[in-house]
């Protein structure tokens, strides 16, 4: 939540990670943020964008690597 404030995106990426790791069960996720929930930190967001740019260049657009990277950011 330090890099993105879209709770739906966080939920979707978490579910995607579960599926990637082999889950075959039905999954649902509800993420509720109460104050004082973490806020997007401009420095973290900039670092995230810079790292994503480097990964895109190095992987030549392979989306799986970016998906894993974004999910790992969620668990920081």
Is the pTM higher than 0.75?
no
Domain ranges of the chain: 7-74
- Cβ atoms of 29 and 12 within 8 Å: the answer is no
Alpha-carbon distances of 58 from 2, 17, 51, 54, 61, rounded to whole Å: 24, 21, 11, 6, 8
Tens digit of each residue's pLDDT (9 = 90 or more) over 9-62: 888 888 888 888 888 778 888 888 888 888 889 998 899 889 888 877 877 656
Using the 8-state DSSP alphabet, how is residue 52 labeled? H
Structure token pair of residue 50: 């810079």
Q: What is the pLDDT of residue 61?
A: 56
C-alpha neighbours within 13 Å on the C-beta side of residue 1: 12
Rg (CA), the chain: 14
């Amino acid at each position: 939540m330090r890099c993105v404030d879209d709770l739906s995106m966080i939920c979707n990426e978490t579910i995607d990670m579960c599926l990637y790791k082999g889950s075959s069960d039905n999954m649902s996720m509800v993420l509720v943020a109460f104050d004082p929930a973490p806020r997007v930190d401009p420095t973290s967001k900039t670092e995230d964008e810079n790292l994503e740019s480097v990964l895109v260049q190095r992987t030549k657009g392979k989306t799986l690597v970016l998906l894993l990277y974004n999910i790992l950011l969620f668990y920081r």
